[in-house]
Amino acid sequence: MSAPQDSLRLHVDRDRCAGAGMCALTAPEVFDQDDEEGLVLLRQPTPRPEHQAAARLAAGLCPAGAITVNSPDATAS
C-alpha cells in the first residue's frame, strides 16, 4: 500500500494525441511513443514517486490535452 500522497493515476487518450512527443521528452520514464504512429504509450499508469512531478508537468504540457491526472483520494465519492 502506498501513502495517499503517492497515489497518482494517469490516463491517456490516444484518439486525442497529436504525437508531438512532449510527454516522452518531459517524462521518458512514464511516457513513450509507438513507432508506427508516434502516439502516446503509458509506461507507468501509476508513476513512482520520483517520476510524479515530471508526469504532472508532461500532462500540463500536452498540446492535445490527451493526458489526465487523477489523485484517487481527491475524487473519491
The residues that touch another protein, with contacts defined as CB under 8 A, are 18-22, 24-26, 28, 32-39, 57, 60-61, 63-65
Provide the minimum distance between the beta carbon of 53 and another protein in the complex, in angstroms, as a whole number: 12
Residue number, 12 or 22, with CB nearest to another protein: 22
Do the Cβ atoms of 17 and 24 come closer than 8 Å? no
- Distance between CA 12 and CA 65 in Å, rounded? 9
Contact by Cβ (8 Å): 38, 19: yes
Q: Which is nearer to another protein, 7 or 42 (CB)?
A: 42
